[in-house]
């Protein structure tokens, strides 16, 4: 069984390309935890672990297909490469870069966010990167606090949790896997199949009204 919470370590763009991406179905809203914490035991879930984290998401009003965040000193990017027939989203890892991050990597991040920014330094610290983001009208940095509970249903990686977007509390749950039919069964078993599939980017932008 794959660990429900990926290890956060620096990864080159070349190595990231070799990672087989998992599809994800995620829901956000209120009373999600009541639904999932009841249904998961009916589905004979196996609980893995609890994890809390502080992250900064960089969102763009121009796209929902570049998942850019900073966690534990790493600048992490994934880009959407496809959707399954059922609308589950597939994001391919593109690398995790340790600050200070070089000019070429920063430029690629902004390219995927569909913004053009002149870069006049060879390397950028976290503070310098965030300052650039804060100064641009089409992108924004969002403080995200997560408390996640990982578990599995019939071998499918699942989680539920509480998320604060700039202090606004939302509940979330998700199922992810390379096995799309297995995902569909797990989503139904967790009784979240009638809810809208919303990724972190869209949820954050909803809070920002972006």
pLDDT of residue 169 exceeding 50:
yes
CATH code of 182's domain: 2.40.320
Give the SS3 label for residue 41.
helix
d(CA 159, CA 181): 18
Kindly state whether residue 6 falls inside one of the protein's structural domains. no
Q: What range defines the domain where residue 187 resides?
A: 13-208
pLDDT of residue 27 exceeding 50:
yes
Q: What's the whole-number mean pLDDT along residues 172-192?
A: 96
Q: Give the pLDDT band of residue 8 (cuts 50, 70, 90).
A: low
Strand segments (E) across the chain:
23-29, 46-60, 63-71, 74-83, 89-98, 101-102, 123-124, 139-153, 156-165, 168-177
Kindly state whether residue 179 falls inside one of the protein's structural domains. yes
d(CA 67, CA 86): 21
Cα dist from 59 to 96, 112, 134, 190, 204, whole Å: 17, 11, 11, 29, 8
Q: Quote the pLDDT of residue 10.
A: 57
Q: Which tens digits make up the pLDDT trace of 73-121?
A: 999 999 999 999 999 999 998 889 999 999 999 999 999 999 999 999 9
What domain count does the chain have? 1
Kindly state whether residue 128 falls inside one of the protein's structural domains. yes
Q: What's the whole-number mean pLDDT along residues 170-185?
A: 96
Q: Quote the pLDDT of residue 1.
A: 45
DSSP-derived pairing of the beta strands 74-83 and 139-153: unpaired
Kindly state whether residue 5 falls inside one of the protein's structural domains. no
Kindly state whether residue 204 falls inside one of the protein's structural domains. yes
Kindly state whether residue 170 falls inside one of the protein's structural domains. yes
Kindly state whether residue 1 falls inside one of the protein's structural domains. no
């Amino acid at each position: 069984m794959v660990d429900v919470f990926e290890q956060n370590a620096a990864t080159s763009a070349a190595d990231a390309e070799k990672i087989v991406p998992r599809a994800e179905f995620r829901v956000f809203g209120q009373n999600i935890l009541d639904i999932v914490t009841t249904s998961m035991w009916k589905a004979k879930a196996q609980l893995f672990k609890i994890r809390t984290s502080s992250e900064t998401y960089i969102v763009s009003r121009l796209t929902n297909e570049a998942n850019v965040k900073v966690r534990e000193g790493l600048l992490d990017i994934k880009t959407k490469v496809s959707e399954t027939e059922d609308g589950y989203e597939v994001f391919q890892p593109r690398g995790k870069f340790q600050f200070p991050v070089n000019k070429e990597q920063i430029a690629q991040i902004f390219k995927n966010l569909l913004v053009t920014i002149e870069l006049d330094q060879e390397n950028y610290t976290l503070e310098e990167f965030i300052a650039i983001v804060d100064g641009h009208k089409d992108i924004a940095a969002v403080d995200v606090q997560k408390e996640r509970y990982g578990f599995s249903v019939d071998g499918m990686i699942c989680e539920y949790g509480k998320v604060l977007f700039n202090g606004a509390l939302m509940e979330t749950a998700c199922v992810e896997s390379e096995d799309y039919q297995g995902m569909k069964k797990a989503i139904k078993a967790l009784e979240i199949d009638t809810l809208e599939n919303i990724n972190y980017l869209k949820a954050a932008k909803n809070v920002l009204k972006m």
